[in-house]
Structure 1
Amino acid sequence: MALSSSISYLFLYIFIAVSSGFPINSLETKDHQSVNQTFRSAQQIYKLKKMIATRLQEINKPAIKTIQSPDGDIIDCVLTHKQPAFDHPLLKGEKPMDPPENLRRYNQIRNTSDHFQLWSLSGESCPDGTIPIRRITEEDMLRAHSINSFGRKFPNASIHEYAVISEGNDKFYGAKGAINVWTPNLESWREFSVAQLWLVAGTPGKDLNSIEAGWQVYGRLYGDYLSRFFIYWTGDDYNNGCYNLMCPGFVQTNRKYALGGAITKTSTYKGKQYSITLKVLKDKQTGNWWLGVDEYGSEYLIGYWPSKLFTQLKNGADEVNFGGEIVNLKTTGPHTSTSMGSGHFPEEGFGKAAYIRNMQVIDTDYNLKAFKNPSHRVTNLYCYSMVERDSDPNWGHYIFFGGPGRGEKCP
């Protein structure tokens, strides 16, 4: 369900207050009348709207075809060499690269009656030579902390909670795993719930580099509570980088998938289960990190993070992680009721709890391997947890994870 557009002007006023030095958190708790008293003039509103329009023009590239998605998204089919990535100072003048030889077996597109994302349900698709990009609207911008922070993660690490399994103490050239897809509940549109794989190198708080991919529910970013396929990257400890194609960086090469697009099929409690198999692989020759998806028995490359974006990931990842993450803003005082995974604890098992199966790391010789010395990071055991399973003929190394958030054991 989409967030009401009637609150757009309140967000606009908050933007003005932020630009004038007023703390956003205090403004969000005031009633509409007192908030209005902090705003200066219609001129400022005009100026801010003009700033937003300029930013939207930078993000939204000219489309040669437009597709209306059933969930309300507008998908623009943009020429591949005109995508946002090539606005990055380090990538200007470049064109999309071909995949490395060992990945050329991946299919780039095929006709199928199954549709991974809602925008393609009608049978519409983007033409050859283009990629689908979810159009960013003024309402999307107004929900952000500020124009400059649009598309970025919360900078405050203390509000993030995790249930994660990690493999470290080595160099890795990638990872692969099948991530169970759900639509967890959010207490607030400002919070999110995520299931993902991510590869990191460097030191947190200093020079951390990260590549992330999975699914998320995030009202503030998308304006609804649908489960969406996403990526994220940073080359400087989350000071820069962004979700999907909301800033220059990731180079998309596939016309089948829209980053940030809603996922068609999600799992139900005691019902049918769905998962997405993701693979991230470093190309030795160029240093680029390629993202692939396995869908319905076929493999597709979506695009790559150029090596130029990173400092620490140039030599490979120091750590591979799989699991869940939520943001806990405590908007009502106690712990948030935002759920992780299915919203049920891992002990409930298949069909009830979320899972990630066939978790593997890719070593520097491009061998897929199971975790050897995994470590667990569960930040709030009574709210969200994780159970690891070593081996299964079909599932390999896997975990169940998640939880409901606030409850009897999670005050």
Structure 2
Amino acid sequence: MDAAHFSSGPSRRRVGLTAGFFLFVFFCGLISLSCAGRLPVSRQKLEVQKHLNRLNKPPLKSIKSPDGDIIDCVHISHQPAFDHPFLKDHKLQMRPSYHPEGLYDQKKVSTGNKERGKPITQLWHMNGRCPEDTIPIRRTKKEDVLRASSVKRFGKKRHRSIPQPRSADPDLINQSGHQHAIAYVEGDKYYGAKSTMNVWEPKIQQPNEFSLSQIWLLGGSFGEDLNSIEAGWQVSPDLYGDNNTRLFTYWTSDAYQATGCYNLLCSGFIQVNSEIAMGASISPVSAYRNSQYDISILVWKDPKEGNWWMQFGSGYVLGYWPSFLFSYLADSASMIEWGGEVVNSESDGQHTSTQMGSGHFPEEGFGKSSYFRNIQVVDSSNNLKAPKGIGTFTEQSNCYDVQTGSNGDWGHYFYYGGPGRNPNCP
């Protein structure tokens, strides 16, 4: 029925038919809209449940942590990594062939973190441990996935969240909403990195923001093909549903687009350790003008097998990233970064008050500010050594800052962090 029928004075009967037709179409449209509204919800529920089934493998034992987490002890051969099509026939490597400075020898690696006499544990240890031949996996809950923008984005960082100290365009740097205070080295081939960092529980302003402290091992350009391996501690209400400080890892081979994830939330990192759970709470944490607790993290490339291994503390060799996951990092890293990162969402038009590190500036020093000490790199001969030509970078030093130093006990070190919003950082 076209517009000409209306302009030529149609009969009342025809108008009635036309009106009836449009009413019919209108109500059909309402019905289909309400159906369409329901379909995505049911489809989302199905997608979420499928994703949970993929992530949460059948446990041999489950442990309830005091913080509400459930830690599943999953057989080592059933972990999420082996869902990767390239890992179907992978021969599990239970230990690295080489450790920095020589052949790997379990006897030389102590158990636990005894570096400063203040042991760091995970909260779930209070209620049990996982048996041999299993790995502890933090169970993913439905509400964890629903907090993400989509099932596909669950467990992933936002694009462009790596500090780019070489960029000359601050607008390009800040458009991601991520801010950093880091020390870095570049210009060589790096086969690993190590540092000891004190652990805090920074305050987060918005649930969609986070605060973390970590090591980055980077390969490639800062474009779409960037490779990154990351490890450290973080507070992320969006990812975990609380404000606890947690051990984490991350990897990507395409600048956070499609590949990689936090912890074991996708196939990639292969865990071999039954003591430490990725994404589980760290306890205790440092207190301002009080006891300081720190953790050591070492990531290095096994010269024989080519995989990137991670060690936590002075004794826990946690597992490895197979080299095939990467393009540039299949060979070596071209840049190492140590330091802090926060999300600045500026939700109220002002800079976030999310804290980095302790929430205090570097000049306050030990017991008040956050630090990385004994920072080292692994060279082509698989030796740990002091880095040369350390640079520093921060987008807004009035919000978060970094200061380097060097002495006999701490080697190369730096203090970093800050409170975010303050009179000089509006």
2:274 maps to 1:255: yes
- Secondary structure of the equivalent of 1:96? coil
Deviation at 1:38, TM superposition (A): 9.7
Q: For residues 71 and 98 of structure 2, what CA distance do their matches in structure 1 show?
A: 31
Aligned to 1:369: 385
Unaligned stretches of 5+ residues in structure 1: 1-36
Deviates more, 1:198-207 or 1:182-191: 198-207
- Secondary structure of the equivalent of 1:169? strand
Deviation at 1:114, TM superposition (A): 5.3
Q: 2:146 aligns with which of 111, 122, 142?
A: 142
How many positions carry a matched residue from both structures? 370
Q: 2:46 aligns with which of 38, 50, 74?
A: 50
Confirm or deny: 8 A CA contact 2:276 2:318 kept in the other structure.
yes
Aligned to 1:3: none
Q: For residues 176 and 110 of structure 1, what CA distance do their matches in structure 2 show?
A: 18
Aligned to 2:133: 129
Aligned to 1:30: none
Q: Which amino acid aligns with 1:120?
A: H
Confirm or deny: 8 A CA contact 1:280 1:292 kept in the other structure.
yes
Aligned to 1:218: 236
Q: 1:116 aligns with which of 101, 117, 121?
A: 121
Deviation at 1:99, TM superposition (A): 2.2
Q: For residues 273 and 114 of structure 1, what CA distance do their matches in structure 2 show?
A: 11
Q: 1:306 aligns with which of 322, 326, 339?
A: 322
Identity of aligned residues (%): 47
- Secondary structure of the equivalent of 1:347? helix
* 1:89-138 CA distance string (max 9 Å, x none): 2212224213233333246895899561001123x110100000000010
Matches within 5 A, 1:154-233: 154-157=158-161, 158-233=176-251
CA 1:275–1:367: 2 relative to 1, 3 Å: same
Q: For residues 361 and 188 of structure 2, what CA distance do their matches in structure 1 show?
A: 31
Deviation at 1:198, TM superposition (A): 1.2
Matches within 5 A, 1:15-26: none
Aligned to 2:25: none
Q: Which amino acid aligns with 2:290?
A: G
Q: Which amino acid aligns with 1:202?
A: G
Aligned to 2:255: 237
Aligned to 2:23: none
Q: For residues 400 and 300 of structure 2, what CA distance do their matches in structure 1 show?
A: 30
Q: For residues 124 and 348 of structure 2, what CA distance do their matches in structure 1 show?
A: 35
Confirm or deny: 8 A CA contact 2:97 2:304 kept in the other structure.
no
- Secondary structure of the equivalent of 1:165? strand
Confirm or deny: 8 A CA contact 2:356 2:418 kept in the other structure.
yes
* 1:40-99 CA distance string (max 9 Å, x none): 533432221111100110111110100000000010000001100011122122242132
Confirm or deny: 8 A CA contact 1:109 1:255 kept in the other structure.
no
Deviation at 1:207, TM superposition (A): 1.2
Aligned to 1:6: none
Q: For residues 408 and 206 of structure 1, what CA distance do their matches in structure 2 show?
A: 37
Q: For residues 39 and 228 of structure 2, what CA distance do their matches in structure 1 show?
A: 40
Q: Which amino acid aligns with 2:396?
A: N
Q: Which amino acid aligns with 1:165?
A: A
Q: For residues 118 and 109 of structure 1, what CA distance do their matches in structure 2 show?
A: 21
Aligned to 1:62: 58
Confirm or deny: 8 A CA contact 2:404 2:414 kept in the other structure.
yes
Q: For residues 243 and 212 of structure 2, what CA distance do their matches in structure 1 show?
A: 12
Aligned to 2:421: 406
- Secondary structure of the equivalent of 1:260? coil
2:73 maps to 1:83: no
Deviation at 1:392, TM superposition (A): 1.5
2:284 maps to 1:265: yes
Confirm or deny: 8 A CA contact 1:69 1:118 kept in the other structure.
yes
* 1:350-369 CA distance string (max 9 Å, x none): 00000000000110101211
Aligned to 1:27: none
Q: For residues 55 and 264 of structure 1, what CA distance do their matches in structure 2 show?
A: 30
Which protein shows a greater Rg?
A: 2
CA 1:395–1:111: 2 relative to 1, 3 Å: closer
Q: 1:349 aligns with which of 345, 365, 377?
A: 365
Q: For residues 191 and 299 of structure 1, what CA distance do their matches in structure 2 show?
A: 32
Confirm or deny: 8 A CA contact 1:106 1:301 kept in the other structure.
no
Deviates more, 1:88-97 or 1:147-156: 88-97
